Amino acid sequence: MILTVDIGNTNVVVGGFAGEEPSFVDRLPSSREWDGTAWREALGELLRERGLTADKIAGSALCSVVPELTERLRSALREVTRRPVRTVDAELDVGLVLAGYDRRTLGNDRVVDAVSALARYAPPLAVFDLGTATTLSVLDREGAFLGGMILPGLGLSVEALAARASQLPPIPLEAPATLLGTDAVSCMQSGAIYGAAAQIDGLTARVEELLGQPVTAVVTGGLSGLVCPYCRRAVFRDEHLLLRGLHLIYRGIRGSAAGQT
């Protein structure tokens, strides 16, 4: 079993691979208050619930966009699994060609998404990750990373709207009943979901204009299942794109000592 760990701003997503597809996917809160001991206990309990002991785990790969949690999780993983941890960072060569982009400022999640998407879909690519932030990563026909965008995430946008507009309440993110809402809550839900879908459609069209050729749109992240059905253009929803990318990176360069700690 190979463990893959994605440390995001809201959740820590843990996936286990015994083959090409994840055997399980679990989530833990991205608690900044937990110390190394708390993370070790949380990971140990998660693995026990899955019937996994250290001797059943060959290794793990980790990606993080929360620097203060990276070392805590890496140390906890190493202690629980008794195996090295493959960590994606600016020093690890994963084979992604950057067309002028400064790798030091490129989120590790976007790197892993790009590697994973290139292994599964035909470029050029527009890769959307709908998380705490919404990111767009664009890869050209040769697979080089051209750049992209970072936007407020869907949940964050709705929370900010409710917090700053006195007459607008907090709302659950749910599928809208109709395009046009008939009260404040349904208007906010419709605006959030249809707006996010239109964002994907519109930005992909603009990328196609920029590149002068059709683009494959890939959408991942926790909210992808809610938004993708409302996109007008064909998109590939890949819920576990990042975990698959971590698995691919672990397998592809596991023979090298670089990046293992």
State residue 225 phi and psi, 5-degree precision: -65, -25
Q: Which residue has the tokens 């890769």?
A: 127
Cβ-based neighbours of 139, under 8 Å, separated by 6 or more: 114, 117, 118, 123, 124, 125, 127, 145, 146
Tokens representing 47? 């693995």
* Number of other residues whose CB lies within 10 A of the CB of residue 229: 12
What one-character-per-residue DSSP string does 14-74 give? Answer: EEEESSSSEEEEEEEE--SS--HHHHHHHHHHHHHHTT--GGG--EEEEEES-HHHHHHHH
Q: Which residue has the tokens 């996917």?
A: 25
Q: Which residue has the tokens 């990563």?
A: 137
Q: Could you tell me how far CA 149 lies from the centroid of its own chain?
A: 15
Catalytic center residues = 109
DSSP code for 238: -
Peptide bond before 152: cis, by omega within 30 degrees of 0?
no
Alpha helices in the chain (DSSP H): 36-49, 67-81, 108-120, 154-164, 184-211, 224-227, 241-252
